[in-house]
Chains A and B, each alone.
Chain A
Amino acid sequence: MKIQINHIAKIEGHAGFMASVLRGDVKSAKIEVREGVRLIEGILIGRHYKDMPIVAQRICGICPVVHNLTSIKAIENAMKVKVSEEAIKLRKVMEHAQFIHSHALHLFFLSLADFLDIENDLNLVKEYPEETKKAIKIREYGMDLVRTIGGRVVHPLTNEVGGFKKVPTLEEIRELIVKGEEILPVAMELGNFFKKIKLPEFSRPTEYVSLYKKGEYAIYDGNITSNKGLHVKADNFEDRFHEFQRPKEMIKRVMRDGRTSYMVGAIARVNNQGEKLSMRARHFLSSLNFKNPDFNPFHNVLYQMVEIIHCIEDSTKLLRELGHSDLKNALTKKYEVREGQAAAAVEAPRGTLYYWVDVDFKGYIKGVNIITPTAQFLTHLEDDIAAFIPGILDEKDEKVREKKMRAFIRAYDPCISCAVH
């Protein structure tokens, strides 16, 4: 028997799904990518390093902040450029904001309808007007942060190697703090609404990979760790995670030590470092009563909600600190262009994003490697679906079965544009 979905709507990018089942055994399960190759890594070669953040962030229209940030960090590491404390704080706030608006979009507008049996978001909006308003408000708060600090929501402008081209005024920072205080209770209410939604049961033990740093919920920097005892620096990422390409396939898959698939993203982060979340996020997490480690990928949606609460609290905290410091320190200072090669990893909404760059002494790029979260968890998603299919084979109605599969794939929040870049 073949299970086929031609086009999975409501994900970023174009993909279909194909599985073949023989007498109850899943023989293969495969996400089929329908995206053209833009060759971002290829076109960067030979270009000036200043072009890299501008070009690389155009990999993805929903998470440009992190692509921009990771390429900047990789170049800074390669050229040994030091950045001020204030600039790092501003970048962290932008990253938090990216999490907030990307997660809010996914959990409410892309995924929620699946669990409420609604086909169209315009109907979802009609049936849950109050919750929609809350979700939009939360998303708008995230976008406000990016707009104020970055200059624009899709493809922000101010962040560059060495710091910022332009910084927000103290007045703007104060406004953002007020907005953050207003939005936190809204997020808690939306969280309580999500708690009531019944998510399907499924569990398959696996490896969770995320950044880890002492004393903070690591999203900006840290070492790469897993719940199976892995602990490496970002520079050694490619020693332990091997990228390979199957012939005729556009996504380069990533396997831990070339063998096993693993999971990244909100579910991996909260499982690995949940104890370091902000206070209210921790309360919300414990009220969910999930065991740790929790291996149900549907719960990814709720872990995203946990992170939204954390990011709102933490960004308000960072903004308060910024309010008491001299923001001019965040502006770019003169630095020396040097040759070098280095890696950088940050947490993107969908998981660990890895960049490696090789720059020559004039600042021209000799080599680039970009490994996106979706490329990392795609094989894991296929393995999970292969384990998920037997449980829904009893379902006679083909449409219902297809719907359940789509809900499963969407709960992962894949971004195909990122994966084929």
Chain B
Amino acid sequence: MKSDEVIKIKIRNLNVQKNTKKPQKEKSARETIGNDFDEEVVDKFPEVLPWNLPAPDSEKNGEKDSEKYRAVLVNADDEKVKETEEKEKKPKIAIVSLTSCEGCQFALLDLGEKFMEAMEKVDMVDFRLIEDEEDSGEKLDIGFVEGNPMTKANKKTLKALRKRSKLLVVLGNCAAMGGVPEIKNYQEQKNTAKHVYKYIRGIDNVEIQEVDNFVKVDFTFPGCPITGEEFLEYFPMLLESAKTGKSLPELADKPVCVECKAKGNRCMLLDKKPCFGPMIQGGCDAVCPSAGMMCQGCRGLRPKGNIKAMRATLKNMMTDEEFENVTEIYGLRDDIFEREYKLDSK
């Protein structure tokens, strides 16, 4: 009886959160896409902004002039021109990290030579794990972001990245779904800090929100951490979309079970052991079930995942409370509630 009551209260809390969260979500997304400051300035003093000044003649007939430019410089230093030209042609990207374990950056770095090869095709403007140079803040083709925007500085970094990037791509569970820190939202929320700190004054302890609550997200690499191979697969497509403006790639809608089966694992559900595989987005090579661990859903719900059937199956293997506890680990719980709410209201 008692535990049922607790769940009911928890559900109620969650619904309250949802109601208050919803309108915020839409508003903040809209706010952040348009840059209000610039618009104001442009309205008042259109002439002060460099991009409103008449373009010099040399830029107007671009190609011809750049050829002239090349002809002059070829004599001076052949190789250097080639190098700088290549650099200018290469798409610019940055990998930025917010509050996280930085495991997704390491998942990339751990690809070793494969990663270096992929990076040869682009101009890496900012990746502070491997370079000391200051980021000049230039425009980007793709901005990658890992981690959760928890601090004010994190939020500023994120918004600045969105402004300067054609595409904003999210790396990993913390950014996409809130990650492990989101457990706080389901528990004591702000009070969780009291278990850790004696003086909670001055500690920036906010509700955990995913990146898409603050800025528009163009593509998401899910997982805790992301799958390096998957990154390599979609990276060229993303570059292509950024360059041509063509439609963005989409992850294939397949459950974890597809890869799990291909690996020859015995289905855990058959042995009455819980596993979230059928409702979760695949692409992780089913690492967890292959290591004898249930899928806990770090990659999030797949678009066509049948939650109701999944929950009915799991009812025989775990209690509702256990189910909810597991979904909390990777911030899956609010997504499931949202999906169920939608299904019910239909």
Query: Which residues of A line the B interface, CB within 8 A?
Result: 7, 9-10, 12-14, 34-43, 45-48, 51, 54-55, 58-62, 64, 105, 109, 113, 119-122, 125, 136, 139-140, 143, 150-155, 157-158, 165-166, 245, 247-250, 252, 406, 417
Q: Does B124 contact A (CB under 8 A)?
A: yes
Bound CA–CA A43/B193 (angstroms): 9
B289 to chain A, nearest CB (A): 10
- A34, A45, A119: the one contacting B153 at CB < 8 Å is A34
By the criterion CB–CB under 8 Å, are B329 and A54 in contact?
A: yes
Chain A residues positioned under 8 Å from B110 (CB to CB): 143, 153-154
- A34, A42, A58: the one contacting B179 at CB < 8 Å is A58
A sample of 19 more A-B contacts (CB under 8 A), given A10-B128, A37-B193, A38-B99, is A10-B129, A35-B99, A37-B196, A38-B150, A41-B196, A42-B188, A42-B195, A43-B192, A58-B101, A58-B103, A58-B179, A62-B102, A122-B119, A122-B131, A136-B112, A154-B110, A157-B292, A165-B291, A245-B197
By the criterion CB–CB under 8 Å, are A157 and B180 in contact?
A: no
Size of the chain B interface, CB-CB below 8 angstroms: 60
Q: B104 — nearest CB in chain A belongs to which residue?
A: A61
Known A39-B193, A245-B197; contact A55-B183, beta-carbon cutoff 8 A: yes
Bound CA–CA A150/B183 (angstroms): 25
Query: Which residues of B line the A interface, CB within 8 A?
Result: 97-107, 109-110, 112-113, 116, 119, 124, 128-133, 148, 150-151, 153-154, 179-181, 183-184, 187-188, 192-199, 201-205, 224-225, 287-288, 290-293, 296, 325, 329
Bound CA–CA A252/B200 (angstroms): 12
B70 to chain A, nearest CB (A): 25
By the criterion CB–CB under 8 Å, are A43 and B181 in contact?
A: yes
Q: B284 — nearest CB in chain A belongs to which residue?
A: A152
Bound CA–CA A59/B107 (angstroms): 15
9 contacts between A and B (CB under 8 A): A9-B131, A14-B97, A37-B150, A43-B183, A61-B103, A119-B131, A120-B131, A166-B291, A248-B199
A362 to chain B, nearest CB (A): 12
Chain A residues positioned under 8 Å from B187 (CB to CB): 43, 46
Chain B residues positioned under 8 Å from A143 (CB to CB): 110
Known A55-B180, A139-B112, A165-B291; contact A154-B199, beta-carbon cutoff 8 A: no
Q: B290 — nearest CB in chain A belongs to which residue?
A: A151
Bound CA–CA A119/B187 (angstroms): 45
Chain A residues positioned under 8 Å from B291 (CB to CB): 150-152, 157-158, 165-166
Going nearest first, the 3 A-B pairs with the smallest beta carbon separation are A61-B103, A36-B150, A248-B202
A368 to chain B, nearest CB (A): 8
Chain B residues positioned under 8 Å from A247 (CB to CB): 199, 201-202
By the criterion CB–CB under 8 Å, are B132 and A120 in contact?
A: yes
- B101, B151, B193, B287: the one contacting A42 at CB < 8 Å is B193
Chain A residues positioned under 8 Å from B181 (CB to CB): 36, 38-40, 43
Bound CA–CA A120/B129 (angstroms): 10
By the criterion CB–CB under 8 Å, are B150 and A55 in contact?
A: no
Bound CA–CA A329/B273 (angstroms): 22
Chain B residues positioned under 8 Å from A41 (CB to CB): 195-196
Bound CA–CA A58/B101 (angstroms): 6
By the criterion CB–CB under 8 Å, are A36 and B99 in contact?
A: yes
B25 to chain A, nearest CB (A): 20
B144 to chain A, nearest CB (A): 15
Bound CA–CA A46/B188 (angstroms): 10
